[in-house]
């Protein structure tokens, strides 16, 4: 039986972009208004009440447009702003939209005037953009919207999909009540609550799946994606009294953060990244059992606080600050994030120093092994057997280990990974993106 065609119904505000566009338009149009803060608050309240299903969408929309006092000039400023505010995980997966241009639909209670210029950059077809339209006066003032458009009404997304009669498997991705209504009405097969920008508990609790990033959505549906394993699935454990900036840098990078006062037993087997406050210690037994641990960021000098040799043997990259420089407050989290994103071990305390640019349209594979002769030959024999085309390859060693990064531009199967992991003296192997 042939596979059903899939359609991806994607919301715009707080999903495709990080912000609510009408709220942002208000900040532009009311910039010099004496009561701007009170009006901003009213507009945001109307937005949230509708998103949580506590006020009809049509009532919320009418009230917000009335308060805007916006013009076409304000719209131009908004579009420029929104282009910089596309959600990070959407922008890094631009290639997906290019490949699936026929199946991606933007369905929004927002307005085409600002949505179309933003999403068109991502190869989304104009005929696949469904949204409201403004009514303007001859001199460009926004005075109303088209009330005949179903998307301006309560349950508008449901009415639109009933009209479109799409046949196939329909996935909905959004952050609000109008997105969940599609699932509730049976118009889509699965609803994914998108929480990269905002998590509304009333919506999250009803979702088929919570997706903290678009990478997560692509991963669970086995679709092509920019990074192989979503960062929100990597547990980053922060232990001790750590500066909020450190946590903020790692959180903004999309990692799943847990903050604890000690390295609790229940996290040892699952932790992927460990951030330790100055003075914290980690014993050999904990290190040996931390089988998924890829890197440790120590906020100070880690000498005598953890076993560097054991970390190296386990394939764990350590970044610390031996001089304990208070001005280097963002040094460790940035190095840790860079290692997770590009494989760079630059300025690490125990690994060969390797710093590489990210190569577009390629997959990056990392192989950590004991420094014994002949390993690179074995790695490349595996690539040759699987007909893999190597774009670039880098190897750095120290007396203990070899750290190899290979960029390939061909599709691969999981058998390739198994073969690379089976090479004798392999310590760790992972796909970066």
- Residue spans of the domains in the chain: they are 6-221, 234-342, 363-432
Quote the pTM value.
0.81
pLDDT digit string, tens, across residues 211-248: 999 999 999 999 988 888 898 899 999 999 999 999 99
What is d(CA 271, CA 80) in angstroms, rounded to the nearest whole number? 40
pLDDT band at 326 (very low <50, low <70, confident <90, very high): low
Inform me whether the pLDDT recorded for 411 exceeds 80.
no
Helices (H) and strands (E) in the chain, counts: 17, 17
Quick one: what percent of the chain has pLDDT higher than 70?
99
Q: What is the Rg, in whole angstroms, of the alpha carbon atoms belonging to the chain?
A: 25
C-alpha separations of 407 from 81, 402, 433 in Å: 35, 16, 10
What is d(CA 278, CA 298) in angstroms, rounded to the nearest whole number? 7
Indicate the fold that domain 234-342 takes in CATH.
Rossmann fold (3.40.50)
Inform me whether the pLDDT recorded for 431 exceeds 70.
yes
DSSP code at position 300: S
What is d(CA 379, CA 38) in angstroms, rounded to the nearest whole number? 63
Topology agreement, domain 6-221 and domain 363-432: no
Inform me whether the pLDDT recorded for 343 exceeds 70.
yes
Architecture of domain 6-221: 3-Layer(aba) Sandwich (3.40)
Indicate the fold that domain 363-432 takes in CATH.
Alpha-Beta Plaits (3.30.70)
């Amino acid at each position: 039986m042939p596979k059903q065609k899939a359609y991806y119904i994607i919301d715009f505000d707080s999903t495709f972009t990080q912000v609510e566009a009408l709220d942002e338009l208000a900040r532009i149009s009311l910039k010099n208004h004496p009561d701007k803060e009170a009006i901003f608050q009213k507009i945001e309240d109307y937005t949230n009440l509708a998103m949580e299903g506590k006020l009809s969408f049509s009532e919320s929309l009418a009230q917000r447009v009335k308060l805007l006092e916006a013009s076409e000039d304000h719209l131009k400023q908004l579009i420029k702003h929104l282009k910089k505010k596309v959600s990070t995980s959407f922008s890094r997966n631009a290639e997906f939209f290019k490949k699936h241009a026929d199946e991606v639909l933007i369905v929004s209670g927002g307005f085409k005037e600002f949505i179309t210029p933003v999403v068109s950059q991502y190869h989304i077809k104009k005929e696949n953009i469904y949204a409201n339209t403004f009514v303007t006066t001859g001199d460009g003032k926004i005075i109303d919207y088209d009330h005949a458009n179903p998307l301006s009404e309560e349950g508008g997304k449901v009415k639109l999909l009933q009209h479109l009669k799409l046949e196939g498997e329909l996935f909905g991705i959004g952050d609000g009540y109008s997105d969940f209504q599609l699932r509730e009405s049976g118009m889509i097969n699965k609803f994914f609550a998108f929480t990269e920008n905002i998590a509304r508990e009333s919506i999250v609790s009803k979702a088929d799946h919570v997706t903290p990033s678009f990478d997560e959505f692509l991963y669970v549906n086995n679709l092509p994606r920019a990074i192989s394993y979503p960062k929100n699935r990597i547990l980053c454990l922060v232990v001790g009294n750590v500066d909020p900036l450190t946590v903020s840098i790692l959180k903004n990078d999309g990692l799943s953060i847990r903050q604890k006062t000690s390295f609790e037993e229940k996290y040892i087997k699952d932790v992927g990244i460990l951030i330790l406050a100055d003075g914290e210690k980690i014993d050999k037994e904990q290190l040996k059992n931390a089988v998924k641990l890829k890197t440790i960021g120590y906020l100070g000098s880690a000498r005598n606080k953890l076993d560097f040799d054991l970390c190296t043997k386990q394939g764990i990259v350590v970044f610390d600050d031996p001089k304990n420089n208070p001005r280097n407050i963002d040094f460790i989290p940035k190095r840790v994030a860079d290692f997770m994103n590009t494989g760079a071990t630059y300025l690490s305390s125990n690994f060969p120093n390797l710093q590489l640019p990210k190569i577009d349209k390629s997959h990056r594979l990392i192989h950590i092994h004991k420094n014994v002769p002949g390993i690179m030959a074995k790695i490349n024999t595996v690539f040759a057997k699987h007909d893999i085309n190597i774009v670039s390859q880098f190897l750095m060693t120290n007396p203990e280990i070899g750290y190899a990064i290979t960029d390939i531009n061909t599709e691969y199967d999981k058998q390739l990974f198994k073969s690379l992991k089976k090479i004798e003296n392999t310590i760790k192997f992972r796909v970066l993106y």
